[in-house]
């Protein structure tokens, strides 16, 4: 029977964790019970983007976009929408900006300003069906390349497109391939770097989960251009779904002869193997990644020689990132000029960003390069939740920096971000609001880098630890103004002398927060005050006695018995015992507890006093 | 696999995902309100889907809508064609549905006996 509805339910990582699988199974059950299985096509897709609203689902041909589905919504949706043709209003996406229910996916502001190239098929096709990929011109670019174009012509096209590597450094893809092609060697390799490790970045996972064939096709085209016959995808073991779907896609591609010997009868042979990483951040660095693939300990080595000269097992190797590879078929199909027409003069094409943190619509978005931060956060991201004030965004994760509110209208491209001391990185955008302490943010990212340092070179292993200790001191209110100079000088030394990218970029979060939020550092040091009210040693919880009703809820929840006061009497928090856990603030029914500024040092004396009192 | 084989797979697979692009020549909307369903609209809908599949009409979209208010003429079916306006049919039983597919969708001549309204 002809299918009359396509029901696409998101099977991306975020929706799966909000139980989209249960919703899907319920749909299967209800559709079967009502005898609709033959006329309604239920498809599980990759990530659709608005992860905050998961589980999400879109129904075609009308394009109704459902959000936050539970099993209980399944019956009414089938009954009302699938049978009677009336979209179930209760779970349609009501865009907070528009204050109205949006019936069609394309009208949702979240989607309106996006331009999907790499993510075009994520959330639109079944990632485990090669047919659906082929229906969207899949493997046509590979066919064209191997039967009609010389490797030189492909590289020329890539150079013309101006595409730059999406892994972070922004090196032109065409140039990398040119070096790979020029390198002498019988055996060459192409590697896909899917070791996505930045906190808050998940675009590569989404592509592998939602459209794995596009990465395979990109790798095959790259391999043809440089003369490789073997490829590796290096993916972290923490991405089991991505690996599962990629393996399934590889199997299908092999079965159809799209991988293997003599592809499209052109004489070109190529196959891909998946290698799993154990989750070390440093293995995203290309030389460490190669060591890991070779079965060695994942440690970087000095460059040069660059991988394109001497890579895997000493053979020329080209390493590209997932997002870079997924865009390649579009460049071949639509032409370099088309790609180059998107974006800015030096940053071409589209970029996928992973929005997270204090923003209404967290999730994955794809926009043309050069869009402003304001458009990204407010038009697509929906602004800051709970009426809070925007403070900054952190881009590029632990290697990047922050962009404060004053630079909201900066175009997002490689050059502008570098100029501000932030970097494009892989595209993770963490939004911070007024309740975020920038010193604490810097400390968080440094802690990450300290943990992930491989320990091979001293600047990174010892230097970062020293920087971290200084920041800890400042957060405890024990910092001195000289510490800021010391931090800065350490940062520059580490940047200049570290062996690999991890160490060379790890001080960036400290440098950029010191550049834009020096006042916060100074408040911590000079006044022992944390302006955002985050650093535990520099805040106190205070009961507003004019509001306290003496219900004892706070005293009962306090894990360290720091709150005293009889029923119906005003309560008090003893700052010398209080651990600043914040549980009282949550429990108070009349919002009488607030975070007070100013440091209250915990003194041993007062602890003793309390002990005596309780004994 | 040859390049032509890929083309063949694509042509076949494209038809299976045509709904997601919203591209179609003719749209058939079956009124599926309470009274429509009571009058057998489910059967009508099924008949359309089966018949369209049988004839391989891949540019026809079948969708459902609420009722128009013409309870006495249910099941009500609207056929809209790009640039040619709408034809609203009443009392569309299984047999009429098959007839509409053959005469209207394939040959382009509406089934006059069941027309209730024509919107240009």
Length of chain B, in residues: 120
Distance CA A19, CA A70 (A): 8
> Using the beta-carbon criterion (under 8 Å), do A83 and B37 form an inter-chain contact?
yes
Query: Cis bond leading into A238, ω under 30°?
Result: no
Is any Cβ of chain A less than 8 angstroms from the Cβ of B80? Answer: no
- Please report the residues numbered 81 through 120 in chain B whose beta carbons come closer than 8 angstroms to any beta carbon of chain A: none
Of A2, A60, A257, the CB nearest to B20: A60
Identify the segments of chain A with pLDDT beneath 70. Answer: 94-108, 597-615
Pick the residue of B5, B10, B15, B25 with the most A CBs within 10 A to test the interface with A by mutation. B10
> Using the beta-carbon criterion (under 8 Å), do A39 and B63 form an inter-chain contact?
no
Contact status, residue A390 vs residue A403, Cβ threshold 8 Å: no
Residue A101 is predicted with a pLDDT of 47
CATH architecture of A5-112: 3-Layer(aba) Sandwich (3.40)
Distance CA B102, CA A482 (A): 88
Name the token pair of A262.
């003599």
Torsions phi, psi of A101, nearest 5? -80, 135
Residue A39 is predicted with a pLDDT of 86
Radius of gyration, CA atoms only, chain B: 16
Question: Which chain B residues touch A132 with a CB distance below 8 Å?
Answer: 13, 16-17
Residues B79-100: pLDDT tens digits? 888 777 888 888 888 888 888 8
Of A86, A132, A138, the CB nearest to B66: A86
- Domain B22-119 CATH (choose: 1.10.540.10, 3.30.750.210, 3.60.20.10, 3.40.30.10): 3.40.30.10
Of B12, B16, B32, the CB nearest to A83: B32
Pick the residue of B12, B25, B64 with the most A CBs within 10 A to test the interface with A by mutation. B64
Question: Which chain A residues touch B52 with a CB distance below 8 Å?
Answer: 2
Beta bridge partners of A192: A233, A320
Torsions phi, psi of A261, nearest 5? -85, 145
- Domain A539-614 CATH (choose: 3.30.300.20, 1.10.1660.10, 3.30.70.20, 2.60.40.10): 3.30.70.20
Reported as type and span, the H/E element at residue A481 is: helix A481-497
> Using the beta-carbon criterion (under 8 Å), do A84 and B37 form an inter-chain contact?
yes
Radius of gyration, CA atoms only, chain A: 27
Q: How crowded is the C-beta side of A330, counted as CA atoms within 13 Å? A: 20
Question: Which chain B residues touch A84 with a CB distance below 8 Å?
Answer: 32-34, 37, 64, 66
Distance CA A442, CA A438 (A): 6
Residue B37 is predicted with a pLDDT of 82
Domain A130-340 has CATH 3.40.50.11540: yes
Of B17, B34, B63, the CB nearest to A132: B17
Location of structure tokens 């970045």: A201
Location of structure tokens 């990929």: A133
Residues B23-45: pLDDT tens digits? 677 888 888 877 788 888 888 88
Shortest distance, CA A322 to any CA of chain B (angstroms): 24
Which residue does chain A place closest to B67, by CA atoms?
A84
Contact status, residue A258 vs residue B3, Cβ threshold 8 Å: no
Regarding an ipTM greater than 0.85, the answer is no
A48, A60, A62, A116 from A106: Cα distances, Å: 12, 12, 10, 12
Domains of chain A: which residue ranges? Answer: 5-112, 130-340, 350-433, 438-526, 539-614
Domain A438-526 has CATH 1.20.1440.230: yes
Distance CA A67, CA A9 (A): 10
Question: Which chain A residues touch B62 with a CB distance below 8 Å?
Answer: 2, 4
> Using the beta-carbon criterion (under 8 Å), do B3 and A147 form an inter-chain contact?
yes
Size of interface A-B (CB pairs under 8 A): 96
CA B112, B113, B119: angle at the middle one, nearest 5? 45
Q: Which of these, A197, A272, A219, A207, lies nearest to A245 by C-alpha position?
A: A207
Name the token pair of B119.
């919107």
Characterize A583-610 residue by residue with b for buried, 16 or more Cβ atoms within 10 angstroms of its Cβ, and e for exposed: ebeebbeeebbebebebbeeeeeeeeeb
> Using the beta-carbon criterion (under 8 Å), do B52 and A2 form an inter-chain contact?
yes
Of B19, B50, B64, the CB nearest to A1: B50
CA A573 to chain centre: 40
A105, A275, A449, A504 from A292: Cα distances, Å: 43, 9, 19, 21
> Using the beta-carbon criterion (under 8 Å), do A6 and B24 form an inter-chain contact?
no
Is any Cβ of chain B less than 8 angstroms from the Cβ of A107? Answer: no
Q: What is the dihedral of CA A256, A258, A260, A261, to 10 degrees?
A: 100
Characterize A210-225 residue by residue with b for buried, 16 or more Cβ atoms within 10 angstroms of its Cβ, and e for exposed: bbbbbbbbbbbbbbbb
Of B13, B29, B42, the CB nearest to A135: B13
Distance CA A161, CA A340 (A): 5
Question: Which chain B residues touch A140 with a CB distance below 8 Å?
Answer: 6, 10
> Using the beta-carbon criterion (under 8 Å), do A84 and B63 form an inter-chain contact?
no
Q: Which of these, A28, A10, A29, lies nearest to A20 by C-alpha position?
A: A10
Cβ atoms within 10 Å, residue A496: 10
| 3-state secondary structure at position A163 | coil
Is any Cβ of chain A less than 8 angstroms from the Cβ of B39? Answer: no
Of A1, A84, A258, the CB nearest to B33: A84
Question: Which chain A residues touch B20 with a CB distance below 8 Å?
Answer: 6, 8, 60-61, 124
Location of structure tokens 């292993």: A461
Query: Cis bond leading into A426, ω under 30°?
Result: no
Shortest distance, CA B2 to any CA of chain A (angstroms): 5
Which residue does chain B place closest to A4, by CA atoms?
B62
Name the token pair of B64.
């459902």
Contact status, residue A91 vs residue A68, Cβ threshold 8 Å: yes
A481-497 vs A508-516: helix axis angle to the nearest 10?
140
Torsions phi, psi of A276, nearest 5? -100, 140
Is any Cβ of chain A less than 8 angstroms from the Cβ of B22? Answer: yes
Question: Which chain A residues touch B9 with a CB distance below 8 Å?
Answer: 131, 134
Which residue does chain A place closest to B24, by CA atoms?
A61
Query: Cis bond leading into B97, ω under 30°?
Result: no
> Using the beta-carbon criterion (under 8 Å), do B24 and A61 form an inter-chain contact?
yes
Distance CA A456, CA A380 (A): 42
Residue B64 is predicted with a pLDDT of 79
CA A440, A446, A452: angle at the middle one, nearest 5? 140
Contact status, residue B93 vs residue B68, Cβ threshold 8 Å: no
What CATH code would you report for A350-433?
A: 3.10.20.600
Pick the residue of A43, A135, A258 with the most B CBs within 10 A to test the interface with B by mutation. A135
């Amino acid at each position: 029977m002809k299918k009359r509805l396509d029901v696409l339910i998101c099977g991306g990582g975020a929706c799966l964790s909000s139980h989209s699988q249960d919703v899907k199974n319920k749909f299967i059950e209800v559709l079967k019970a009502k005898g609709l299985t033959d006329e309604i096509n239920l498809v599980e897709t990759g990530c659709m983007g608005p992860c905050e609203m998961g589980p999400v689902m879109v129904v075609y041909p009308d394009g109704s976009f459902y959000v936050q589905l539970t099993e209980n919504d399944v019956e009414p949706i089938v009954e009302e929408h699938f049978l009677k043709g009336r979209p179930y209003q209760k779970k349609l996406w009501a865009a907070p900006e528009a204050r109205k229910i949006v019936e069609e996916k394309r009208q949702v502001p979240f989607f309106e300003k996006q331009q999907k190239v790499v993510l075009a098929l994520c959330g639109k096709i079944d990632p485990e069906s090669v047919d659906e990929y082929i229906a969207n011109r899949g493997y046509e670019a590979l066919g064209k390349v191997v039967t009609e174009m010389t490797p030189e012509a492909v590289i020329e096209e890539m150079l013309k497109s101006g595409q730059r590597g999406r892994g972070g450094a922004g090196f032109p893809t065409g140039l990398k391939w040119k070096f790979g092609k020029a390198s002498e060697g019988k055996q060459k390799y192409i590697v896909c770097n899917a070791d996505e490790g930045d906190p808050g970045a998940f675009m590569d996972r989404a592509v592998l989960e939602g459209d794995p064939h596009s990465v395979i096709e990109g790798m095959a085209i790259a391999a043809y251009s440089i003369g490789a016959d073997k490829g590796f995808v290096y993916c972290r073991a923490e991405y089991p779904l991505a690996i599962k779907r990629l393996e399934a896609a590889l199997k299908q591609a092999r079965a159809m002869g799209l991988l293997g010997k003599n592809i499209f009868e052109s004489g070109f042979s190529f196959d891909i193997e998946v290698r799993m990483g154990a989750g070390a951040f440093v293995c995203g660095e290309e030389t460490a990644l190669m060591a890991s693939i070779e079965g060695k300990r994942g440690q970087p080595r000095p460059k040069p020689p660059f991988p394109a000269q001497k890579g895997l097992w000493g053979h020329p190797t080209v390493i590209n990132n997932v997002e870079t590879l997924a865009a390649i078929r579009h460049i071949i199909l639509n032409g370099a000029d088309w790609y180059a027409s998107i974006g800015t003069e030096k940053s071409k094409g589209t970029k996928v960003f992973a929005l997270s943190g204090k923003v209404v619509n967290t999730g994955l978005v794809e926009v043309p390069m050069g869009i402003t931060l304001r458009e990204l956060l407010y038009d697509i991201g929906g602004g800051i939740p709970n009426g809070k004030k925007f403070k900054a965004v952190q881009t590029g994760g632990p290697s990047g920096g922050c962009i404060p509110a004053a630079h909201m209208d900066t175009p997002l491209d490689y050059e502008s971000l570098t100029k501000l001391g932030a970097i494009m990185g892989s595209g993770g955008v963490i939004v911070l609001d007024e309740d975020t302490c920038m010193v604490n943010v810097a400390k968080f990212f440094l802690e990450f880098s300290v943990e992930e340092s491989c320990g091979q070179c001293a600047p990174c292993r010892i230097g970062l630890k020293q920087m971290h200790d200084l920041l800890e001191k400042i957060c405890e209110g024990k910092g001195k103004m000289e510490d800021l100079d010391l931090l800065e000088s350490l940062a520059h030394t580490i940047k200049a002398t570290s062996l690999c990218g991890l160490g060379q970029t790890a001080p960036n979060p400290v440098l950029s927060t010191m550049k834009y939020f020096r006042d916060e550092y100074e408040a911590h040091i000079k006044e022992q005050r944390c302006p955002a009210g985050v650093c535990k040693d520099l805040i106190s919880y205070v009961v507003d006695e004019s509001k306290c009703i003496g219900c004892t809820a706070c005293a009962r929840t306090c894990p360290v018995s720091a709150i005293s006061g009889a029923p119906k009497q005003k309560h008090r928090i003893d700052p010398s015992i209080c651990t600043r856990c914040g549980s009282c603030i949550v429990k108070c029914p009349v919002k009488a507890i607030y975070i007070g500024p100013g440091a209250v040092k915990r003194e041993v004396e007062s602890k003793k006093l309390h002990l005596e009192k309780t004994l | 696999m040859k390049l032509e084989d890929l083309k063949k797979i694509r042509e076949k697979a494209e038809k299976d995902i045509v709904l997601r692009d919203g591209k179609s020549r003719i749209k058939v909307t079956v009124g599926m309100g309470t009274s429509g369903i009571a009058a057998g609209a489910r059967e009508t809908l099924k008949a359309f889907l089966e018949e369209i599949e049988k004839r391989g009409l891949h540019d026809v979209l079948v969708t459902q809508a609420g009722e128009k208010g013409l309870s006495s003429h249910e099941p009500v079916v609207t056929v809209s064609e790009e640039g040619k306006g709408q034809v609203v049919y009443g009392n569309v039983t299984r047999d009429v549905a098959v007839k509409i597919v053959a005469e209207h969708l394939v040959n382009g001549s509406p089934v006059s006996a069941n027309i209730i309204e024509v919107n240009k």
